[in-house]
Amino acid sequence: MPELPEVQTVLNGLSEALRDRSLSALICHYEGTVIIDPEITCSPFPARIMSFRRRGKYIRLDLENEITLLVHLRMTGKLILAKQSDQKCSDEVAAGERPYEEVSDEVAEGERPYEEVSDEVAAGERPYEEVYDEVAAGERPYEEVYDQVAVVRHSYEEIPELKHVRASITLDENGLVLFNDPRTFGKIWLCRTENIEYYLPELGLEPLADEFDRHYLGKQVKTRKAPIKNVLLDQKVIAGLGNIYVSEILFRARVRPDRPANSLSSNEIDRIVKETKQVLTEAIALNGTSISDFRRIDDKTGEFQNYLRIYQKDLCPSGHPVTRIRQAGRSSFFCPCCQR
Ligand SMILES: [Zn+2]
């Protein structure tokens, strides 16, 4: 499951690839993946991306026109930037008999915008906006709309490793970002920026923010008897941590994950805060951890899995056998010699 460093890695990739660009469509291929704020009553596209941010494990793109795109990858979600060859293939399908270059040239000459050619094929006679509005209003089942966006379906079927595309985001100049998600827990919300609080849950401090310090964590653990691992996983206390990084942080801080939170000394709290910042900073620099299926937007893997010290290990770096226990339904790994 992607945690803060993986989400930050995806965000870094998006902000590099999509800087100064506009979104021209958001298409849902799996019912429930895309959620549209009922207060958005007409298509907000095309819309320029004004900022790229992360909050906890959420990716937040603020668009012009006071619109925000929020993405949560959940367990298996991936955002993949379609390669140029894939897009070319897509355009050939879109334009029927006509070669991609020809359509492209016309756009360059400004005779007909690409969207127009694409939409005629995709939606038959009907303008794109009409289809979009119906999706937003939820009046028609997605399957029916899906047939009308066959152009996009063809484009990702050409990418053999992407079999579970749940949504696609089209960009200006024929760019395409695919949301692939086998388990279907991932979500994309499109909302009015002023309604963002309604779509984001209550989240605690960002662990890399200066406000996340020994005083803050000390206050949080003081009244809790729950294991320290559970407190660190609580998104309302700290936003963005998950099983892998909490395991690594507690190993480096030399604290057992099953210790009651209120039993920690101020030195231990201090070490946890420092190691949280250290582990996350290292992991972001290495583009996250690809243990299961996390990928960057260019489909490359992260590297931090090569630097894990305790998570899914048999021996700790000092050669002691690692103990594995179940906590809150998840595996915890710790070294009974190195961690107290
Ligand atoms: Zn050890």
- Ligand 1 centroid – CA 319 distance (Å): 6
Q: pLDDT tens digit string along 234-271?
A: 999 999 999 999 999 999 999 999 999 999 999 999 99
Query: Euclidean distance between the first and final Cα of the chain, in Å?
Result: 27
Flag the least confident range among 54-58, 109-113, 277-281, 285-289.
Answer: 109-113
What does the block give as tokens for 35? 């959620």
Q: Where are the alpha helices (DSSP H) in the chain?
A: 4-17, 84-94, 100-109, 114-122, 128-137, 142-148, 150-157, 196-199, 214-222, 228-233, 243-253, 266-285
- Ligand 1 centroid – CA 334 distance (Å): 8
Q: pLDDT tens digit string along 77-99?
A: 999 998 655 444 444 444 433 33
- The residue assigned the tokens 């063809």 is 154
- Ligand 1 centroid – CA 230 distance (Å): 22
Are 308 and 90 in contact by the 8 Å Cβ rule? The answer is no
- Ligand 1 centroid – CA 338 distance (Å): 4
pLDDT value at residue 139: 35
Mean pLDDT, all residues of the chain = 82
Angle of CA points 66, 7, 173, to nearest 5° = 55
What size, in residues, is the chain?
A: 340
- Ligand 1 centroid – CA 318 distance (Å): 5
pLDDT value at residue 151: 35
The CATH-assigned architecture of domain 214-334 is Orthogonal Bundle (1.10)
pLDDT band at 159 (very low <50, low <70, confident <90, very high): low
- Ligand 1 centroid – CA 322 distance (Å): 7
- Ligand 1 centroid – CA 291 distance (Å): 22
- Ligand 1 centroid – CA 277 distance (Å): 22
pLDDT of residue 123 exceeding 90: no
CATH superfamily placement of domain 4-199: MutM-like, N-terminal (3.20.190.10)
Q: What is the residue extent of each domain of the chain?
A: 4-199, 214-334
Q: Which of 76, 247, 99, 229 is nearest to 165 (CA)?
A: 76
pLDDT value at residue 149: 34
Report the SS3 class of residue 217: helix
Q: Cα–Cα distance between 87 and 80 in angstroms, integer? A: 13
- Ligand 1 centroid – CA 251 distance (Å): 9
Q: pLDDT tens digit string along 7-53?
A: 999 999 999 999 999 999 999 999 999 999 999 998 999 999 999 99
- Ligand 1 centroid – CA 240 distance (Å): 26
pTM of the entire predicted model: 0.79
pLDDT value at residue 98: 35
Cross-strand pairs, 334: 323
- Ligand 1 centroid – CA 70 distance (Å): 40
Segment 186-212 mean pLDDT: 97
- Cβ-based burial of 261 (10 A; exposed 0-12, middle 13-18, buried ≥19): buried
- Ligand 1 centroid – CA 177 distance (Å): 43
Return all residues near 325 (Cβ < 8 A) that are at least 6 apart: 257, 258, 331, 332, 334
- Ligand 1 centroid – CA 305 distance (Å): 19
Are 90 and 153 in contact by the 8 Å Cβ rule? The answer is no
pLDDT value at residue 138: 37
- Ligand 1 centroid – CA 253 distance (Å): 12
- Ligand 1 centroid – CA 241 distance (Å): 23
Q: Cα–Cα distance between 83 and 250 in angstroms, integer? A: 40
pLDDT of residue 147 exceeding 50: no
Report the SS3 class of residue 178: strand
Are 149 and 123 in contact by the 8 Å Cβ rule? The answer is yes
Q: pLDDT tens digit string along 271-321?
A: 999 999 999 999 999 999 998 778 899 889 999 999 999 999 999 999 999
- The residue assigned the tokens 């320029």 is 48
Return all residues near 144 (Cβ < 8 A) that are at least 6 apart: none
- Cβ-based burial of 235 (10 A; exposed 0-12, middle 13-18, buried ≥19): middle
What does the block give as tokens for 139? 């009046």
- Ligand 1 centroid – CA 152 distance (Å): 51
- Ligand 1 centroid – CA 66 distance (Å): 51
What does the block give as tokens for 1? 């499951």
> How remote is the C-alpha of 278 from its chain's centroid?
22
Cross-strand pairs, 67: 63, 192
